[in-house]
Structure 1
């Protein structure tokens, strides 16, 4: 396995089990010795109004789920929040600080470890029917133990818990609002983007669940994604576990949903979540940020100031408590621009893009304004290039958040194993806003073929940063046939500085994805007169 596909041992590298354990112990005992002043103050505030207990929730099939309860002692009516755990061996412990903050604001809160993780019985069902039933059972448990009437109900999850939260809301009519952080809308698209298997993402999930107890079906599905077996069966499995499949139920009840996502998300790429967001008809909001999976909201999980969690609190305060805090009047979309980190509100996702600029792929390696047809650019398969999605899943996103994005040496890209097209230097800052689209035609000598397209921002010295990318795989075309690929690159909000150039790189191998090409095969990229090859840039 190459560096770029290195499997992380955790999807949450900054979470400190020892520190979170000490926080929970202090919640139980009241002894805050050794804790930071801010954490000690949070515990004191919580203990003055509510009680904290650990326990078990009886889930589907009688499996006992590890859980924690933050419960107020008064009998007045109040809203409640259920928090299914992320994909981590820490289980509900990951939410200890945030659940405490919600409880201090007046909510009863129950956080639980998803089946198969941490201290919960059962086997990992990957947001399947058992997990949905567990969510409803957890809500039953919380309602039964609330000392007063329950007014309104929210489900909140990060990553794995966010998918479960959406699915429970679609199936359980008691749920009034959802917060889904680093989530998915279409799990099949996340695993098979443009028919390309996301093998590094599945390896990362398996690595992070090394101590979890996977169901035989879950293990079989993950093995199939890695090996390429039973694609149709895996897509049927994923369909049930995709909130997008159940969107009619969310829309019928107009369930308010708050999303937060990262532009360079490597587990659940943003386009499939944006498709889910765009189809929702109830109150909705999405925050898109620099980084990778769960990175933008991580400081809030740790209890530090975080704008995403601030908005999550405001979302529930308005939709569950009825607080007139203005979040219902704010724009639906809030984008953090790479690399300035400017926050740009827009009323809807389509309004992010004001117009589209088309650049045509030419035979001399240029991206130009006029179609240039009849040329051929040959790429040798089986060889990696410096153009890759990232060095490491999740961790590369933390470097981006810290202002240290990966640098791509474009001069080192071998033009025999990659096709490269470069635009003229931009005269003024180029504001990319939305979803770029690539149409390209190629000839493959073999029945299976694949490529990955990268859009780079290249400085005058040849160093570059990645703007966005997308893979493409074709498994059905006859040998030596022309294949037309018309694909969306992942959505972006990126400012290309004056004097920089946009560079499009297409190569045949990236360790993040399964490689459908035969070693030493070739892909001949071209631009027929009937279907010229081009790149559409969304501008704002």
Structure 2
């Protein structure tokens, strides 16, 4: 995937912009003398100009941003793009947004101030994915960074790897593959990836992730007061958006949160090619105000901007205004006739549903990058035919069909009471929009695992914004395995969900 994107970017590389210096390839000495491959472009006019530094994405290099660099240079910015250590032709080994990467970012700022017409008082950092993470972390480490635009980034690497105490298999596997193909993994990274996949030394892996999480340095970021733009996809299978909601709430800086349909880096992809793009337009306007000093009104716009999965764009002053009122749906007794329970009404007891702990169903979160990426392009959510869900392997609960549209906004939450559960186990919950013909569109999902004996579990589904049409049924499916995730189930075990279980849905 990364190599394909890079090839497209290279083929789409623009001609030099009129009124700019043109692109210049340079070597920048990073921390410890490691060579970082880079390029830069600047306005041709006299004087000092605001700066944007782009660390490249995981698996890509500084060529990634060449189309946007040309556009931004034409708007008056010095733009420096560089390949982080350990990738492609840069020296060193991959530090995974660790202390060496942050020291390198500061070295790039030093070089930029010394060697380009940069205004040292007006420096921004931005990027997609890995570049977003380094930029956001850098805003806490280097007070010279006055504005950040983090596109498809993370604020909590531990959550990204282990949300719901469940290891994310496909996303971590792709990151590992890219590192092996076009990078030079450090011994530490190799060890951490091995421990992650082998489910060993979990606390050590989490400690490693915390060091690489902007949320760990929230106080430092707030102290430095950069203007922070966060933009992600609802269906980001690498960095699910819940972590950004929490991080955004803790920021006391000028800030904005934008969420759009799509998977990891999909919402920004056409902009990488130099085509019109909402995420990149937001980035430009953000820097135009907070670096270039333009009075474009960005600072007075609502701080939360969202494009729901199937509705027009919306804006809110904060996240709590988006989420509205919570509604609780009790999970009811499974009917013998159709193997489905009622979702709704008071929380009830006196029933149970046994699930085999090692059997999958057609309910699923899809394939990393591809499923939610395709849905962003087509405008259609991934779907299944609900009658194909094996009721011997899954619990299914369907709500009564409302007479008016229901606006789901925020983080749905599921509480499941368990009976006789094994010491370790995993459940995966899926929330669907079910029409009258049995077609079920995925609204959101999330896994949950436990590593000690428990009588109940709580799972925060991934944040969503979706309009449930009138006459459609909100439907919950619970099974025990999904190819997106490693599970903690032992073959032959079973998990029994019982009365007292419920779903909480935020209705805007």
TM-score when normalising by structure 1: 0.90
**Residue 337 of structure 2 aligns with which residue?**
none
In 1: Cα distance, 2:169 partner to 2:420 partner? 23
Deviation readout 1:259-281 (Å, 9 max, x if unpaired): 11100110011101111111111
Aligned 8 A contact 1:352 1:433 in 2: yes
Matched, 1:245 2:220: no
Give the drift of 1:370.
Answer: 1.4
**Residue 313 of structure 1 aligns with which residue?**
284
Match for residue 166 of structure 1 among 136, 146, 150: 136
Q: Where in structure 2 are there 5+ consecutive unaligned residues?
A: 335-340
**Residue 338 of structure 2 aligns with which residue?**
none
Give the drift of 1:20.
Answer: 3.4
Q: Secondary structure at the match of 2:268?
A: helix
Aligned 8 A contact 2:139 2:224 in 1: no
Q: Secondary structure at the match of 2:173?
A: helix
Give the drift of 1:215.
Answer: 0.5
Q: Secondary structure at the match of 2:455?
A: strand
**Residue 254 of structure 1 aligns with which residue?**
225
Match for residue 469 of structure 1 among 445, 448, 456: 445
In 2: Cα distance, 1:140 partner to 1:186 partner? 28
Give the drift of 1:488.
Answer: 1.2
Q: Where in structure 1 are there 5+ consecutive unaligned residues?
A: 1-9, 25-38
**Residue 351 of structure 1 aligns with which residue?**
321
Distance 1:444 1:230, change over 3 A: farther
1:448-467 correspondence runs (5 A): 448-467=424-443
**Residue 396 of structure 1 aligns with which residue?**
371
Q: Secondary structure at the match of 1:362?
A: strand
Match for residue 486 of structure 2 among 514, 517, 527: 514
Distance 1:147 1:312, change over 3 A: closer
**Residue 117 of structure 1 aligns with which residue?**
87
**Residue 187 of structure 2 aligns with which residue?**
216
**How many equivalent residue pairs?**
500
**Residue 84 of structure 1 aligns with which residue?**
55
Q: Secondary structure at the match of 1:485?
A: strand
Deviation readout 1:407-456 (Å, 9 max, x if unpaired): 21211111111111110112111100111111111124422111111101
In 1: Cα distance, 2:141 partner to 2:17 partner? 37
**Residue 158 of structure 2 aligns with which residue?**
188
**Residue 372 of structure 1 aligns with which residue?**
348
**Residue 332 of structure 1 aligns with which residue?**
303
The farther-off stretch of 515-524 and 394-403 is: 394-403
Matched, 1:485 2:457: yes
Distance 1:491 1:149, change over 3 A: closer
Give the drift of 1:374.
Answer: 2.2
Matched, 1:409 2:380: no
Distance 1:444 1:266, change over 3 A: farther
Aligned 8 A contact 1:75 1:149 in 2: no
Give the drift of 1:11.
Answer: 4.8
In 1: Cα distance, 2:389 partner to 2:256 partner? 40
**Residue 10 of structure 2 aligns with which residue?**
21
Deviation readout 1:127-159 (Å, 9 max, x if unpaired): 000110111111111111123643310000100
Matched, 1:272 2:247: no
Give the drift of 1:73.
Answer: 4.5
Deviation readout 1:281-327 (Å, 9 max, x if unpaired): 11111110011000011111111101110010000010001100011
Distance 1:445 1:348, change over 3 A: closer
Aligned 8 A contact 2:422 2:493 in 1: yes
Give the drift of 1:49.
Answer: 2.8
Q: Secondary structure at the match of 1:293?
A: coil
In 1: Cα distance, 2:456 partner to 2:421 partner? 14
Matched, 1:103 2:73: yes
The farther-off stretch of 392-401 and 99-108 is: 392-401
Q: Secondary structure at the match of 2:22?
A: strand
Give the drift of 1:405.
Answer: 2.9
Distance 1:393 1:187, change over 3 A: same
The farther-off stretch of 355-364 and 202-211 is: 202-211
Distance 1:347 1:167, change over 3 A: same
Deviation readout 1:227-249 (Å, 9 max, x if unpaired): 11110000110111000000101
**Residue 6 of structure 1 aligns with which residue?**
none
Q: Secondary structure at the match of 1:533?
A: strand
In 2: Cα distance, 1:11 partner to 1:455 partner? 31
Matched, 1:151 2:121: yes
1:68-79 correspondence runs (5 A): 68-79=39-50
Aligned 8 A contact 1:470 1:490 in 2: yes
The farther-off stretch of 305-314 and 218-227 is: 218-227
**Residue 64 of structure 1 aligns with which residue?**
35
Deviation readout 1:152-197 (Å, 9 max, x if unpaired): 1000010011000011110001110100000111100111112111
Aligned 8 A contact 1:179 1:258 in 2: yes
Distance 1:298 1:12, change over 3 A: farther
Give the drift of 1:483.
Answer: 2.0
Aligned 8 A contact 1:157 1:165 in 2: yes
